[in-house]
Amino acid sequence: MSLDAANSLIENRVVAGLDQDAKIAQSPLAVRGLTVSYGEKPAVFSVDMTVEPGQMTAIIGPNGAGKSTLLKAALGIVAPISGRVTIFGRPLAEQRARIAYVPQRASVDWDFPTRVIDVVLMGLYRELGLLGRIKGNHRARALDCLSRVGMADFATRQIGQLSGGQQQRVFLARALAQGADLYLLDEPFAGVDAATEKAIISVLKSLRAAGKTVVVVHHDLATVAEYFDNVFLINTRRVAEGPVAEAFSEESLQVAYGGRLAATQIDQLARG
Amino acid sequence: MLLDALTLQLGYNATLVAIGAALLGTAAGITGTFLFLRKRALVSDAVSHATLPGVCIAFLLMALAGGDGRNLAGLLLGSAVSAGIGLWCMNWLTRNTRLAEDAAIGAVLSVFFGFGIVLLTVIQTLGVGRQAGLEGFLLGSTAGMLYSDALVIAAGGAVTLLLVLLTRRPMTLVAFDPEYAAARGLPVDRIDLLMMGLVMAVTVVGLKIVGLILIVALLIIPAVTARFWSERSDRVVLLAGLFGGIAAYIGAALSASAPNLPTGPIIVLVSFALFALSLLLAPNRGVLAAMLRHMRFQRRVHLRQGLLALAQGQAIYESLTLRLLRRAGLLRADGVATAKGRARAAKALRDERRWEVVRGDVTQEAAAALYDGLRDIETVLTVDQIQEIDRRIDGPREVLS
């Protein structure tokens, strides 16, 4: 390769880098070169992701593909081996207040002595500080968030008395109470009833309408096209990323799921 | 004698012990609740057993330096250092090896305690300075408690309580949902460490009164007891403090009222008595309440089943059902329904149809969730709502061929 050719290559890269920087600065959640490993087997390997602002994005992929891990690493819950995470172009530590997270239901002890409203009040944790008293307006806001997910009637129940779907909605209400700009949900539709799925999706759509960004780890391929604007397909590595119409294609599903989906199934899904 | 003890009439030393114990009990109950909610109760047992080598080494050092080996502050400092090392070992084992936490607890507890016992024996055979009373750290001994000892205990308890007050929210959040706490930027590891530090402080402060073998009871029993009485973590914390304080106060008074009653074990027994009472009598989670609830529920089921059977003209075989129906005046002795019985039966059947409508309606989810096949629909819906449902039941229907 001649020196000139090499120079122009480098130049191109630099230009590409600048373009990337602009994208990263605008993105509510941008990940570059992220690798996370449990033991010595990477669960997520060298992944780049750029979430579009004000839209709903689904992270999809087969079981064990690193969907939840990607989310947890983006939130700093698990420490990555390498990689960089930015939230609205800034480091995660500066932007915590702008992120709301809805963990998987299984992560919690449901016999814990706490009522539905107390769980939602945890969303106001930052505002209350260490010693601030919980006042009437805090309770009113918590109740408002509960009614947005249709759970206001359950405010004083102990959380263990709720069904799985209702517990999931309480988690969503807690995230709403934070008043964040970026919402990250880990499998919110897993094992919930139809009423809950409807309630959750309508809340998420209202968040999008208010200009918020929503990222959901999702497992149900059949509803991807109906619910989401963008998809991020992952199988340890990034497989595809972009608007559903482009990225949710036969080829990328084939790559992400391999033999796990029958060819006819993939065909059907991609045509939507 | 006991009354004298409870009203602090037994003299200077007994009063000192009772007040010190009550403070310690409150601090232990409150701190222990967070440990219990975090599901790490047994860690405190390992921490307390890990104090023994520290106590012995501190004694040896102070005696060798020519001072009084029994200086309480010095001994507690030693115990804190060795408990801290024990805690670090446990954390290291769970994090860096494949050992689960229970295995790490077992390993640390036995090794540190064994080492401590060896040191204790060595001290006794050496006959270094007045070592008498060092065994008191095993089961607690309050006989020779000094005013300065009481001050150390009171100060330790007060500092612990203050720290808990400052960190109760993060600690609760971490105990309930560590992932969410981490996502909000809380330093989960450091909060866990702080929780353990508080437990260590209570343990060290309580060594003199309760002893290292039984301090775990003071941390855990009040929390478990309080859990019977409330579904709210803040109240469980307060109640645990209350129960811990009461148990320690009564226990200390009891042990002072008769010669040679060991303080620590008596406090634990009083604490257990409160636990047993709560287990039996607590309104929601108590055993008696559960039994009563079950009996009442069984009766309601039988009565309802009986009414539905009557409405549909089915035979009733259960003798309890028949007895209940007769007692309520719904069934005559010869097994024929009374007028009241027929009316109630018709109503029960109609309620079933109404519930079907409610359960098929997504907008009535909260009401539908209350469906159990037993309760009258009026207790859940308003008259207007029921009329609306009735219109739907009786309204024009599709004609089936």
Amino acid at B335: G
Residue among A103, A114, A131 whose CB faces B180 most closely = A103
User: Which pLDDT score is estimated for A5?
Assistant: 62
CB of A254 within 8 Å of a chain B CB? The answer is: no
Q: Hey, where are the domains in chain B?
A: 2-282, 288-393
Whether the CB-CB separation of A269 and A253 falls below 8 Å is answered with yes
Q: Answer yes or no: is A2 within a domain.
A: no
Q: Which residues have a Cβ under 8 Å from the Cβ of B189 and sit 6 or more positions away? A: none
Average pLDDT over residues B122-128: 78
The DSSP output letter for B335 is S
Least confident among A106-115, B14-23, B39-48, B372-381 = B372-381
CB of A96 within 8 Å of a chain B CB? The answer is: yes
Most confident of A63-77, B11-25, B370-384: A63-77
First-to-last alpha carbon distance for chain A, in angstroms, is 46
Would the pLDDT of B369 be above 50? yes
The tally of domains found in chain A comes to 1
User: Which pLDDT score is estimated for B401?
Assistant: 47
Distance of CA B372 to the CA centre of its chain: 31
Q: Answer yes or no: is A220 within a domain.
A: yes
Most confident of A65-74, B11-20, B136-145: A65-74
Question: Rounded to an integer, what distance in angstroms lies between the CA atom of residue A161 and that of residue B282?
Answer: 18
Q: Answer yes or no: is A204 within a domain.
A: yes
User: Which pLDDT score is estimated for B372?
Assistant: 80
- Nearest chain A residue (CA) to B163: A130
Q: Which CATH number is A66's domain given?
A: 3.40.50.300
Average pLDDT over residues B123-128: 76
State the ipTM, two decimals.
0.87
Average pLDDT over residues A201-223: 94
- At B110, the pLDDT band (50, 70, 90 cuts) reads very high
Name the A residues in 171-210 with CB < 8 Å from any B CB: 174, 184, 195, 198
> Using a CB-CB distance cutoff of 8 angstroms, which residues of chain A are in contact with residue B39?
109
Residue A255 belongs to domain spanning: 27-108+179-271
Q: Answer yes or no: is A154 within a domain.
A: no
Percentage of the residues of chain B whose pLDDT score is greater than 90: 42
Whether the CB-CB separation of B137 and B55 falls below 8 Å is answered with yes
Question: Rounded to an integer, what distance in angstroms lies between the CA atom of residue B186 and that of residue A75?
Answer: 11
CB of A4 within 8 Å of a chain B CB? The answer is: no
Residues B198-226 have pLDDT tens digits of 999 999 888 888 888 889 999 999 999 99
Distances (CA, A) of B291 to A158, B123, B287, B295, B298: 21, 55, 6, 6, 10
Angle at A111 between CA A110 and CA A117, to 5 degrees: 70
Q: Answer yes or no: is A232 within a domain.
A: yes
Residue among A108, A113, A130 whose CB faces B227 most closely = A113
Distances (CA, A) of B86 to A80, A262, B79, B115, B312: 29, 55, 10, 12, 70
Least confident among B179-188, B294-303, B372-381 = B372-381
Q: Answer yes or no: is A209 within a domain.
A: yes
Would the pLDDT of A253 be above 80? yes
Give the distance from residue B341's alpha carbon to the nearest chain A alpha carbon, in angstroms.
Answer: 35
Q: Are the beta carbons of A118 and B233 separated by less than 8 Å?
A: yes
Give the distance from residue B71's alpha carbon to the nearest chain A alpha carbon, in angstroms.
Answer: 37
What is the pLDDT of chain B when averaged over all its residues?
87
Whether the CB-CB separation of B186 and B171 falls below 8 Å is answered with no
Give the distance from residue A159's alpha carbon to the nearest chain B alpha carbon, in angstroms.
Answer: 9
Would the pLDDT of A201 be above 70? yes
User: Which pLDDT score is estimated for B63?
Assistant: 85
Would the pLDDT of B366 be above 80? no
Whether the CB-CB separation of B217 and B44 falls below 8 Å is answered with no
Q: Answer yes or no: is A255 within a domain.
A: yes
Size of the A and B interface in Cβ pairs below 8 Å: 75
User: Which pLDDT score is estimated for B398?
Assistant: 54
CATH number for the domain formed by residue range(s) B2-282: 1.10.3470.10
Q: Are the beta carbons of B184 and A150 separated by less than 8 Å?
A: no
Average pLDDT over residues B12-34: 89
Distances (CA, A) of B57 to B50, B125, B129, B396: 12, 15, 14, 90
For residue B366, give the 3-state DSSP assignment.
helix
Would the pLDDT of A18 be above 80? no
Q: Answer yes or no: is A164 within a domain.
A: no
Interface of B with A (CB under 8 A): 37, 39, 165-167, 169-170, 173, 175-180, 182-185, 227, 230-233, 235-236, 362, 365-366, 369
Phi, psi of B217, deg, nearest 5: -65, -40
> Using a CB-CB distance cutoff of 8 angstroms, which residues of chain A are in contact with residue B236?
113
Residues B324-354 have pLDDT tens digits of 999 988 888 888 888 898 899 988 888 888 8
Angle at A169 between CA A136 and CA A142, to 5 degrees: 10
Would the pLDDT of A11 be above 80? no
Structure tokens at B133: 């009373």
Whether the CB-CB separation of B202 and B47 falls below 8 Å is answered with no
User: Which pLDDT score is estimated for A4?
Assistant: 66
Average pLDDT over residues A135-145: 93
